[in-house]
Amino acid sequence: MRRNFLASAFIFIALAGATTAVAAQSTAQSGNGAFVNVEGGRVWYQTCGTGLKSMVLIHDGTLHSATWDDVWPIFCKNFHVVRYDRRGYGRSPASTAPYSKVDDLAAVMHAAAMEHAVVVGASAGGGIATDFTLAHPDAVDRLVLVGPSISGLRYSQYFYQRLAKGSPYFFKGDFEGLLRSWGYAFAPGHDAALKRAAALLKANPQDLKHSDMARPAPTALPLLSTIKVPTLVLVGEDDVADNQGQASVVEALIPHAYRVIVSDAGHLIFMEHPDVFTRLIEQFVAAAPHPDREASIRRYVESLERGAPNYDEMTRAEATDVRQELPQLLQFIKSMGAFKSIGYKHGTEDGADVYLVTFEHGQAEWTIGPLSADGKVQKRQVNPL
């Protein structure tokens, strides 16, 4: 059966880069950015910031690098950042011969004077980020995958049917109608972000129309367990079920990965909630716990071991909850054996910290939210592993 135009336009779902040598590394200036020569072509990129840590932003399969406009100035304050237009998107010419998406990324990083970086990839860009991490593990400090599309994971017929609903709008040049027909790019109510995306597509229709000749990289799915870098997986709660499923698989298979479901967001989280998006990534990169919260968890666990929770360190509401759950908590602590250590894992969307608490007979994740003005615990939750 002939594939419809939208399935072809979004073939990024199944394809990511490959591994071959980059042809050249010279650049030519082009306005507020530059071109780097790559195998059989050239790619436009832009840099900003002078931070000690480097970051690469890889756009999805719908829009070019302008999709990062809302988060760009925020990241530029604290990082040395590069974004680029993949071949056929934005300013970069479409491919006319086989090439490697992984090698294109390597060329961009080299041109931006980055030996290693935090690599952030959205959707198809997440697939490229994953393939790059597998091919160049030493070049990736931390990996961030946003609604990722990973090679080896198949998309459903339902997903392609949703894409096909946009055909009439595409042929009429109605990009706003196209995005609305898909129903997952943006959560309901984010009309301003949707209109900005539609305007970008209207000004750059090649983003959806270009051909692509990328060579496939080795299938990522069976290799995910070999990724050792800390990995953050972000997915919008209103994203399509296929992307939700891929995010879950990635979290399960990459050893040091955790997933955050961003509320009131679709596929393009960074255009809907740039402040939340940047905060989650920055705290992931910093991996900086709040010392007052870690100390509070430690004292709490030790008080449970004694059978006498430190209620004086809790707000009245939290103390009430603990009293109700106390029999189960004490039984859990007894079954886990002696307390061994506590270590910070990551932050959450709502500003809480998650700690890994290790006992003699197992581990548990303990989540603690911001303390009250007088230093008391307002919300705390345990999740046995």
Which of 80, 91, 88, 90 has its CA nearest to residue 49?
Answer: 80
Which of 88, 120, 100, 60 has its CA nearest to residue 243?
Answer: 60
Distance CA 321, CA 86 (A): 52
Under DSSP, is residue 46 helix (H, G, I), strand (E, B) or coil? strand
Min mean pLDDT across 150-154, 196-200, 225-229, 345-349 is at: 345-349
Based on the domain organization, do 321 and 175 belong to the same domain?
Answer: no
User: Quick check: 176 pLDDT over 80?
Assistant: yes
Query: What's the whole-number average pLDDT of the chain?
Result: 89
Min mean pLDDT across 4-18, 26-40, 244-258, 267-281 is at: 4-18
Based on the domain organization, do 153 and 216 belong to the same domain?
Answer: yes
Based on the domain organization, do 99 and 51 belong to the same domain?
Answer: yes
φ, ψ dihedrals at 60, nearest 5°: -80, -165
Identify the domain boundary among 258, 286, 314.
Answer: 286
Which of 55, 62, 56 has its CA nearest to residue 147?
Answer: 62
CATH number for the domain spanning 93: value is 3.40.50.1820
Based on the domain organization, do 301 and 195 belong to the same domain?
Answer: no
Q: Residue 175 — pLDDT band, cuts 50, 70, 90?
A: very high
> Could you report the per-residue pLDDT of 71-99, keeping only the tens digit for each?
999 999 999 999 999 999 999 999 999 99
The pLDDT value recorded for residue 353 is 87
Based on the domain organization, do 144 and 274 belong to the same domain?
Answer: yes
Give the number of domains in the chain: 2
Tell me what the mean pLDDT of segment 22-45 comes to: 70
Distance CA 268, CA 187 (A): 9
- Its domain, for residue 263, covers 5-286
Identify the domain boundary among 286, 315, 350.
Answer: 286
Based on the domain organization, do 256 and 114 belong to the same domain?
Answer: yes
CATH number for the domain spanning 303: value is 3.10.450
User: Quick check: 20 pLDDT over 90?
Assistant: no
Based on the domain organization, do 248 and 318 belong to the same domain?
Answer: no
Distance CA 339, CA 347 (A): 23
Identify the domain boundary among 286, 311, 346.
Answer: 286
The pLDDT value recorded for residue 348 is 75
Based on the domain organization, do 146 and 160 belong to the same domain?
Answer: yes
Under DSSP, is residue 124 helix (H, G, I), strand (E, B) or coil? helix
Phi-psi region of 183 (alpha: psi -120 to 50; beta: other; left: phi over 0): left
> Could you report the per-residue pLDDT of 245-278, keeping only the tens digit for each?
999 999 999 988 889 999 999 999 999 999 999 9
Q: How many residues does the chain have?
A: 385
The answer to whether the CB of 96 falls within 8 A of the CB of 41 is yes
> Could you report the per-residue pLDDT of 307-319, keeping only the tens digit for each?
999 999 999 999 9
Helix or strand (DSSP H, E) at 61? none
Based on the domain organization, do 267 and 299 belong to the same domain?
Answer: no
Q: 365 vs 282, 339, 384, CA distance in Å?
A: 21, 13, 6
Based on the domain organization, do 117 and 189 belong to the same domain?
Answer: yes
The answer to whether the CB of 22 falls within 8 A of the CB of 40 is no
Based on the domain organization, do 66 and 176 belong to the same domain?
Answer: yes
Based on the domain organization, do 252 and 296 belong to the same domain?
Answer: no
